[in-house]
Structure 1
Amino acid sequence: MAGRIKDEDVAAVKERTRIEELVGDHVALRRAGSGSLKGLCPFHDEKTPSFHVRPQLGVWHCFGCDEGGDAIAFVMKIDHLGFTDAVERLAAKAGVQLRYDELSGGRPSGPRQPVGQRQRLVDANAAAERWYAEQLMGGEAAPARTLLAERGFDRAAAEQFGVGYAPRAGEELVRHLRGRGFTDDELVTAGLAGRNQSGRLYDRFRGRLLWPIRDVTGDTVGFGARRLYDDDRIEAKYLNTPDSPLYRKSQVLYGVDLAKRDIARERRLVVVEGYTDVMAAHLAGVTTAVATCGTAFGEEHARLARRLIGDVTATGEVVFTFDGDAAGQKAALRAFAADQQFVARTFVAVEPSGKDPCDLRQSEGDAAVRALVERRVPMFEFAIRSTFADVDLDTEEGRLAGLDRAAPIVAAIKDRELRHRYAVNLDRWLGFLDERFVVSRVARAARGGPGAEGGRPAPSRAEADDPVATTERFALACALQVPDHVGAQVDALGEEAFTVPTHRVVHETILASGGATGRTGAELLEAVRQVAPSTVQPLLTRLAVMDLPAGEKELPRFARMAVAKIAEIEANRVVMDALRRLNRLDRGTDPDAYEQAQKVLLEAQARQRRLRDQALGGEA
């Protein structure tokens, strides 16, 4: 058995490794005086760069968390590797042949086998990527090539992004990689293969178009696969590599390996929604585009963005593109539950026609994709204006309704000066032309001062005493504690059911976790915690342990009434909107429109009565 790596080989690895390039794969480094570079530390979250690298000495140190060391120490910490695995990884990149001292004396040393697990998994993924790319040129892959062509991608584009094809047969990749010396356990651990109940291996991806997902260093850590055939036994349109020692969907961004240099140079990162959108953006000249892999853009993605840009809170930008207003609204509201120093330099770019970058490039050309990004608006503005996008601002009632919706969002901005500026803007957007009135309404909503709960203001005394806010808290507490009684009711609530911004985020998170229907309280809380931002975790805990004013026998009825009350309040708003629309119509001028509006109002009122009966204790 091989022993420790020879000291002279370790020294050769350090000598051939340029530490500024190694660290630069993870952190945007900028000059910081003679012979020194600095950036945001990748090991703790910080806003001001305190991570320094001295290339001449081959060392790094963070003055924020007091971590430091050489290139080997950096790889050990960033990739969670032991010393030997870290040296082997650097040696493979530097072209150093390692030798090992034998444990027993007197025998010659030689190369150590096998190499560390991480490198084996990286090698397996790299071999799979090459094989998938070869299959894309075969006869069976014609549907995959057609799909690419229909979206404006030729063979050169497929090769640039490493696109491949997984054959429909169940074991072809497994046989290929076994023939390259990879073990069954390695294929399963890498997420390339699954194991059935009898222990037999099968290809995880079959009959799908594939994109290799690489980390910032360029190593392939996983794959994204698109469904091509109607008889695919897996109905999901996209299938990704499961979490593995290499791949964590909350930590990877598709395209980051191609975009990282331009992200650091332009100090801008553009987030699009899918693999083809990344391809289209890069081919159109937006070479800072990346996409998440089957999950929402989260806190770990934000930390990665900060490191790549250097400092988002100063001059850097993160631009989100969405393919529709509904998705944009949800994402903007989620952003308010995040770090507002990050959100303050975050922008939104929405194509009015609803086209994503891939569709936009096909229909209007490369320039249209670039123009989409340049038309970005601040995230704060987008979130605020989205709240009253469906309100009739030509009426006094509509303007007041818009103010009631938007004031809590503006009040949630922690920076006082920024909050005031957006309050002034809100007056202009709503058309009141009464700045003092609008500013005072925002100030009232912000009374008590901005807090940290959910990235929004902590409830002020007025909010705590607000009967609607209290009802919302009870409803969410019931949803988390006894979803077996109210799960379907909770899942049926609309996007605007909750008026308190933090409560709305909790409801969105419940839905994002898969919904409350069919789950126990423990199952739902665990699922919600998996997808909720850390900033709303304290609120989830409080709701989960909140006392409910009902005994065990009365609890199911109380829970149904609490959620029904929320639905009733939402229905009341629908009725009022329908009534306003009806009042604006003249039966004599447009009888058809008047009758249709009257029908909508009657239906809304009927639902309102049903929900009121439920809220008063009647059965659904």
Structure 2
Amino acid sequence: MGTIPSETIEQIAAANDIVEVIGSYFPLKRAGANFKALCPFHQEKTPSFMVSPTRQTFHCFGCSAGGSVFRFVMDYEHIDFPSAVRKLAARAGITAVEKSRGYGADDEERQRELRERLLKLHAEAAKWFHENLIKREVGDAARKYMRARGITVETAKRWQLGYAPDGWDAFGSWARGRGYNVRDLTASGLVKVKDESDSTASEGSGTAQRTAHAKASYDRFRGRIMFPICNDVGEVIAFSGRLLEDEQGAAKYLNSPETGLFRKGSVLFGLDKTKRALIEANCAVVCEGQLDLISLFESGITNVVAPQGTAFTESQARILKRFVNEVVLCFDADTAGQKAAERSLDALLQNDLIVRMAKMPVGEDPDSLVRREGKEAFERRIAGARDFFDYWIERETANIDLASFGAKIQLARRLAETISRVRDPLMRGEVISKVSARLGVPAQDFQALVSRQRGTEPFLARDHPPERDATGVMAPAPRHDISMLCVLALRDETARDFLRQQNWREILANVPDGEPLVRILESDLRPGDAASLNAFMVTLSPADERLVSSWLLQKVPANAGAMVEKWWLGIRQAVLRRQLSVATNQIKLPELSTGDIINLQKQILDLQEQLHELSQPAGAADN
């Protein structure tokens, strides 16, 4: 991967006013020169979350969260820095070009250009499919179907639902007319190319061959309601299409194939819209289909996701763990739905997620239930969802004769194999107690069986502690004089210029907690330029960024020029006194050579002279 140049980061920061960005997520109220709100990163009743339009930073005085506009998007959206940069760049209409590094730079550049073309193609395709459904005559049957399913025009617009006409080359013809070539259309997965053996134009002129090549391609999606699949920053990367009318031998749902943009097992449908609700609820309601999710979301149950398939993958579970600690599975009551729930278990347990199972009546799904029963009834169904292991134990033992010793042993081994994959020791112990009680076997015997199963795992796979989110942890502030110099170097151009004219590297090398000031002085930040401050802050650790954000909200002394000289003088004097003390103690050591004693005497006299000069008013600003 490449790096995003600092000048691009500055440009993006300058184009995204932090008050407007944060205000697009929740309302801010003016508080003097700043804005305030209830902090989104911890529970509070009195607003302590402050946003500075002047400094273009935010800081919470309650939990210490804080930083640049990039840090806010990263923490609020739970995304990494490059994703936050791309999201803010897209918001401002700026192309965030990454600089390639090392070998293979040309390949990286080609991959980047292909990705941009495919994203553009998918965005335009989503718009074309959507207009077919909303505006065009070709979408009449699709609109009737949507009305029958209770999907309103407003809902279709919010989710950019669309319709792919029932023709072999409707989309392909439109896309080629927009300038897209067959190679990119094929790479997108929206168009398929027939096998060469199917083509009748293997010979002939170049023109004839090109014509035959165009004719050999055909639309992947035909006669289907189209659901755009987005990544977690809202870019369309794939589609799922549902047949209007079931056809023998045809799949009811058809997804885009895996492409340079889309990895089916690494995407959760709806996450771009629902992740904030997931964080706030700390619980994900998981359903099978897109319509199930949309119906729940539109009813007001917004902490929902759907896997791209019938069961969770390890990658999807890992993504979900970034947002929640608990999952409620709302899969269909048929055999396929129950199998999908069981296949999801391993991936969810490997990521230390608590799993519950909501009961779905036979023949019903979340879409039909929420329409028939309403939001409150469905929420009661979620609240009453059983622990997955209670459901699973009951299901596994339902058709087993526990009076048969052989059947009981086989079942115990099968259950132990699954329980061995529970990483959390407390959860594992609870499940062992439940199973042993249900089977009527001593808990210690069943525990031993589980332990033997766990012994077959690689050692490094066992009981890894989950990664901790550092949100709210602020680096400890250095001592007061260093902190105040940091504030002035960040906020006042004159003070910063004064410090940079001093012998600051040598002096701060002798100050135990001088590293923050070193970082500030060696950077190219410009105190009067908020975008420059944002670009500096993204180079810091989250803890250091929170500390800097708190400094940026402090008041600058009116006499900053005099104060910076005073504090810098104090630091220089402290360093000299410390060096004098060391030299004075060293000269008292026995067995020093005459040369060592003479050198130390010279050093002591020099240090005493420097201290004397610094004590004179006229020498306060001398180096």
With over 3 angstroms needed to count, the CA separation of the structure-2 counterparts of 1:336 and 1:18, relative to structure 1, is farther
1:173-230 deviation per Cα after TM superposition (whole angstroms, max 9, x unaligned): 2333334343333322222222334422332211111111111111111110012245
Cα distance in structure 1, aligned partners of 2:278 and 2:381: 18
Report if aligned partners of 2:234, 2:272 keep a CA contact under 8 Å in 1.
Answer: yes
Cα distance in structure 1, aligned partners of 2:192 and 2:274: 32
Residue among 70, 74, 77 paired with 2:81: 74
Cα distance in structure 2, aligned partners of 1:229 and 1:191: 23
Residue among 306, 322, 343 paired with 1:307: 322
Structure 1, 406-415 or 246-255: larger mean CA deviation: 406-415
Residue among 236, 242, 257 paired with 1:220: 236
Report if aligned partners of 1:281, 1:357 keep a CA contact under 8 Å in 2.
Answer: yes
1:102-155 deviation per Cα after TM superposition (whole angstroms, max 9, x unaligned): xxxxxxxxxxx9993323222211111111111114344333233323332222
Q: Which residue of 2 aligns with 1:199?
A: 213
How far residue 360 of structure 1 moved from its aligned partner, in angstroms, is 1.5
Residue among 183, 204, 207 paired with 2:181: 183
Amino acid at match of 2:382: V
Give the 3-state SS of the residue equivalent to 1:206 in structure 2. Answer: coil
Report if aligned partners of 2:163, 2:224 keep a CA contact under 8 Å in 1.
Answer: yes
Residue among 197, 201, 210 paired with 2:226: 210
Give the 3-state SS of the residue equivalent to 1:340 in structure 2. Answer: helix
With over 3 angstroms needed to count, the CA separation of the structure-2 counterparts of 1:190 and 1:368, relative to structure 1, is same
With over 3 angstroms needed to count, the CA separation of the structure-2 counterparts of 1:288 and 1:98, relative to structure 1, is closer
Report if aligned partners of 1:337, 1:454 keep a CA contact under 8 Å in 2.
Answer: no
Amino acid at match of 1:276: L
With over 3 angstroms needed to count, the CA separation of the structure-2 counterparts of 1:361 and 1:386, relative to structure 1, is same
Report if aligned partners of 2:312, 2:343 keep a CA contact under 8 Å in 1.
Answer: no
Structure 2, unaligned stretches of length 5 or more?
26-39, 51-63, 99-109, 197-211, 463-623
Give the 3-state SS of the residue equivalent to 1:269 in structure 2. Answer: strand
Structure 1, 336-345 or 351-360: larger mean CA deviation: 336-345
Cα distance in structure 2, aligned partners of 1:251 and 1:187: 22
Report if aligned partners of 2:436, 2:446 keep a CA contact under 8 Å in 1.
Answer: no
Give the 3-state SS of the residue equivalent to 2:146 in structure 1. Answer: helix
Structure 2 residue 335 is matched with structure 1 residue 326 = yes
Report if aligned partners of 1:328, 1:350 keep a CA contact under 8 Å in 2.
Answer: no
Cα distance in structure 2, aligned partners of 1:402 and 1:332: 24
Q: Which residue of 1 aligns with 2:269?
A: 254
Matches within 5 A, 1:51-450: 55-56=67-68, 74-75=81-82, 91-96=89-94, 116-137=113-134, 138-196=136-194, 197=196, 198-200=212-214, 201-229=217-245, 235-294=250-309, 296-309=311-324, 316-324=325-333, 326-327=335-336, 329-331=338-340, 333-335=342-344, 337-338=346-347, 340=349, 342-391=351-400, 397=403, 401=407, 405-406=411-412, 408-409=414-415, 412=420, 413=422, 417-426=426-435, 429=438, 437-443=441-447, 445-446=449-450, 448=452, 450=454
Cα distance in structure 1, aligned partners of 2:414 and 2:14: 57
Q: Which residue of 2 aligns with 1:11?
A: 10
Q: TM-score, normalised by structure 1?
A: 0.53
- Please identify the structure whose Cα radius of gyration is greater: 2
Structure 1, 234-243 or 150-159: larger mean CA deviation: 150-159
Cα distance in structure 1, aligned partners of 2:81 and 2:310: 28
Report if aligned partners of 2:221, 2:241 keep a CA contact under 8 Å in 1.
Answer: yes
User: Using CA pairs below 8 Å that are at least 6 residues apart, which structure has the higher relative contact order?
Assistant: 2
Amino acid at match of 2:190: L
Structure 2 residue 455 is matched with structure 1 residue 451 = yes
How far residue 297 of structure 1 moved from its aligned partner, in angstroms, is 0.9
Cα distance in structure 2, aligned partners of 1:341 and 1:99: 36
1:253-306 deviation per Cα after TM superposition (whole angstroms, max 9, x unaligned): 111111111111111112100111111211232211111123521111011101
Q: TM-score, normalised by structure 2?
A: 0.53
With over 3 angstroms needed to count, the CA separation of the structure-2 counterparts of 1:154 and 1:376, relative to structure 1, is same
Give the number of aligned pairs: 391
Q: Percent identity?
A: 30
With over 3 angstroms needed to count, the CA separation of the structure-2 counterparts of 1:354 and 1:307, relative to structure 1, is same
With over 3 angstroms needed to count, the CA separation of the structure-2 counterparts of 1:452 and 1:300, relative to structure 1, is farther
* CA root-mean-square deviation: 4.6
With over 3 angstroms needed to count, the CA separation of the structure-2 counterparts of 1:226 and 1:329, relative to structure 1, is closer
Amino acid at match of 1:284: S
Structure 1, unaligned stretches of length 5 or more?
37-51, 63-70, 80-85, 101-112, 310-315, 459-620
With over 3 angstroms needed to count, the CA separation of the structure-2 counterparts of 1:330 and 1:18, relative to structure 1, is farther
Cα distance in structure 2, aligned partners of 1:452 and 1:5: 44
Q: Which residue of 2 aligns with 1:584?
A: none
Cα distance in structure 2, aligned partners of 1:326 and 1:443: 30
How far residue 239 of structure 1 moved from its aligned partner, in angstroms, is 0.9
Cα distance in structure 2, aligned partners of 1:293 and 1:301: 9
Cα distance in structure 1, aligned partners of 2:321 and 2:413: 30
Cα distance in structure 2, aligned partners of 1:5 and 1:171: 40
With over 3 angstroms needed to count, the CA separation of the structure-2 counterparts of 1:369 and 1:31, relative to structure 1, is closer
Give the 3-state SS of the residue equivalent to 1:221 in structure 2. Answer: strand
Cα distance in structure 1, aligned partners of 2:246 and 2:97: 53
Amino acid at match of 2:273: L
Report if aligned partners of 2:192, 2:220 keep a CA contact under 8 Å in 1.
Answer: yes
Amino acid at match of 1:228: L
Amino acid at match of 1:205: F
Amino acid at match of 1:286: I
Cα distance in structure 2, aligned partners of 1:181 and 1:245: 20
Report if aligned partners of 2:358, 2:382 keep a CA contact under 8 Å in 1.
Answer: yes
Report if aligned partners of 2:321, 2:353 keep a CA contact under 8 Å in 1.
Answer: no
